[in-house]
Amino acid sequence: MCVALAAALMFAGYEIAESPGSQLFGKTLVSGPKNERVVALTFDDGPNPPYTGEILDVLRAERVHATFFVVGRAVQAYPALVRREAETGNAVGNHTWNHGHLVLYDNVGLRRTLQRTDAAIFAATGRHTKIMRPPFGSRDWLVLDEVRRLGYTPVMWSVPLAKDWEDPPPRIIAARVLRYAGDGAIITLHDGNRGIVCAHTHTPRLCDRSSDVEATRLIVDTLKRRGYRFVTIPELLRMDSARSATRRVAREGE
């Protein structure tokens, strides 16, 4: 019983430490300003045709931008989709080469998975990215230290994940997001499944993100009606920098 209790306590502690809002292992971006009607819509695990392209169609029709945290092996397979993401005003972030648990990597492995992905992003878009999201939100002190050494800002999320990978109906995905979306929220959906290249698998169902396409439309329409403006993660970071500069000037003037 004591062993079981100790294991349960250790697991609970791990869950708390690994929660997206935890800053135990170091600072990460979890949300934007709490007093402005802005939200950042993000997508993980792509690119993944045809669903990434369909999501881009929705964003274009709604005249909003999002941030795509891409998996390197999928970028290598579908560079034109990543190029389209960047060329249409969306932001692209690093989600590692193969969506591995970063806490299981040593420093060499961490550098390799991030740099290899960055090289694929640059080959597709002609741009480097300085934002990354750890797969599964998995991180510790060593991971975040190496991430920052490479010049990245680690990005988490503030709205609980909608478990869209379980393929609930679009209205359920949207309802789970909209319940928690507020000022400065960072929302995470998925346009792929851990960067799986479906052309190389016999189970294409794993990559079906059609529900996310319609859920994106529902989420954007609803939040626009509520008066929200959509920003990318780099825009959110610039807003944070501007606020910090304003506070610093105010303190110096006291």
Active-site residue list: 44, 190
Instruction: Determine phi and psi for 86, rounding to 5 degrees.
Output: -70, -40
Q: Please say whether the beta carbons of 113 and 171 come within 8 A.
A: no
Scanning the structure block, which residue is given the tokens 């920098």? 241
Cα–Cα dist 3/8, whole Å: 9
Cα–Cα dist 112/182, whole Å: 36
Q: What is the 3-state secondary structure (H, E, C) of 104-170?
A: HCCHHHHHHHHHHHHHHHHHHHCCCCCEECCHHHCCCHHHHHHHHHCCCEEECCCCCCCCHHHCCCH
Closest CA to 114 of 148, 156, 79: 148
Cα–Cα dist 72/99, whole Å: 9
Closest CA to 159 of 196, 186, 192, 127: 186
- Name, in order, each residue with C-beta under 8 angstroms of 45's C-beta and a sequence gap of 6 or more: 69, 71, 74, 95, 99, 190, 191, 192, 193, 194, 195
| 251 residue type, one letter | R
Q: Please say whether the beta carbons of 74 and 206 come within 8 A.
A: no
